[in-house]
Each structure stands twice: as C-alpha cells, then as structure tokens.
C-alpha cells in the first residue's frame, strides 16, 4: 500500500485517484465534500437528498477523473459536476417549470442586511419556487451568465432573465416582511 503525505500536491493526488488509489480518493472526498454538500444543498431543500446527490456526483467525479484536463481549477470542475447532478435530480422530480415570460426588470439586490444569518438567507432562498431558485443559484451564487443558464436548462435567455427578476422580487418582498416583523411594524 502506498502512503500519501498529507500535503500531497493536488496533481499527484489526482493522478493517484485516477489510478483508483482509495486513500487518494478519500482525501479528495474529505477535502471537497463539505463545500460540495453546500452546493447541492442550494438546489435541493432536503439535506439528506442533497447528501445522496453529492455522493452520486462524487462517483461521477471519480469515474471521470481521467477527463479532467487541468485547464481550470479542480474544485471548479467538481463543483460543475455537483451543479449538473443537482439540476438533473430536480428535473427528474418534475417539480421545476419555467414560464416563458420575457418580462424582466434589472434591479439592485446586493444589499442584504448583514443581521440576517446564513440560515435565514438559505431559508428565504429555499422558499422560492424550484425554477426561480435554480436560476437564482446559477446566476447569483454560481456566477453563470444568462446565455449559459439558458443553454444548460434548454430555455430562452429571456426566460432566465425573467425568472431571476421574479426570484429577486420575491426575495426582496420576503426580506421586507422579515425586517418589518423584526421591527414590530407587521
């Protein structure tokens, strides 16, 4: 059995994992699984289902590791697999639909009050309809452009923009309700 140093170079770790070295695969899993569970959790409300999807996605990571070309970050490559697997799961549940609505309004939504906890914000995002939540996560969290989202989800670019606009509006309304509740004005 080969011993791997804890501070192994990432390229060596990837190479060993590609050769089915279980210890190397475990190190990769241990290093990235907390972040990747968070990625899956953005798309899937139930943490147990999100964990199942993450594990399935890691199986795809290890199966396709030989295809990683080191052109971008390894973490980014894993993250993309997690996002795609999460989207596939949501679609398979047939809970997501996108309204072909070309109306959208560009608006500022970068000033969420800092007194909201991560759990509060996640709860607000979770309350969005699946389509809104998926577009919001892809755009605002993952940083995809509307054109990329449209191609990924097989929708119109305008639909992506519209869904984001509706998601932002709904989140802003929920934030305002929370603020009013906390201030005792509602």
Query: Considering the entire predicted model, what is its pTM?
Result: 0.72
What per-residue confidence (pLDDT) applies to 118? 78
Could you tell me where the beta strands, DSSP code E, fall in the chain? none
In the chain, % of residues over pLDDT 90:
54
48 and 94 Cβ atoms separated by less than 8 Å = no
Residues 179 and 183: their CA atoms lie apart, in Å, by 6
Angle between helices 47-63 and 22-43 (to 10 degrees): 140
pLDDT tens digits, residue range 141-160?
A: 899 999 999 998 888 899 99
pLDDT in tens, 4-42: 554 458 899 999 999 999 999 999 999 999 999 999 999
């Amino acid at each position: 059995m080969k011993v791997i140093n804890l501070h192994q170079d990432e390229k060596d770790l990837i190479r060993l994992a590609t050769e089915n070295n279980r210890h190397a695969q475990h190190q990769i899993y241990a290093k990235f699984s907390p972040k990747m569970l968070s990625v899956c959790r953005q798309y899937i409300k139930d943490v147990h289902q999100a964990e199942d999807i993450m594990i399935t996605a890691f199986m795809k990571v290890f199966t396709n590791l030989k295809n990683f070309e080191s052109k971008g970050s390894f973490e980014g490559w894993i993250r993309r697999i997690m996002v795609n697997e999460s989207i596939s799961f949501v679609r398979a549940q047939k809970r997501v639909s996108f309204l072909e609505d070309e109306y959208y309004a560009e608006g500022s939504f970068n000033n969420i009050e800092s007194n909201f906890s991560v759990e509060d914000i996640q709860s607000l995002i979770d309350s969005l309809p699946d389509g809104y939540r998926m577009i919001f996560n892809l755009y605002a969290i993952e940083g995809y452009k509307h054109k990329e989202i449209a191609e990924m989800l097989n929708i119109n670019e305008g639909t992506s923009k519209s869904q984001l606009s509706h998601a932002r509006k709904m989140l802003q309304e929920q934030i305002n309700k929370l603020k009013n509740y906390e201030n005792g004005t509602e």
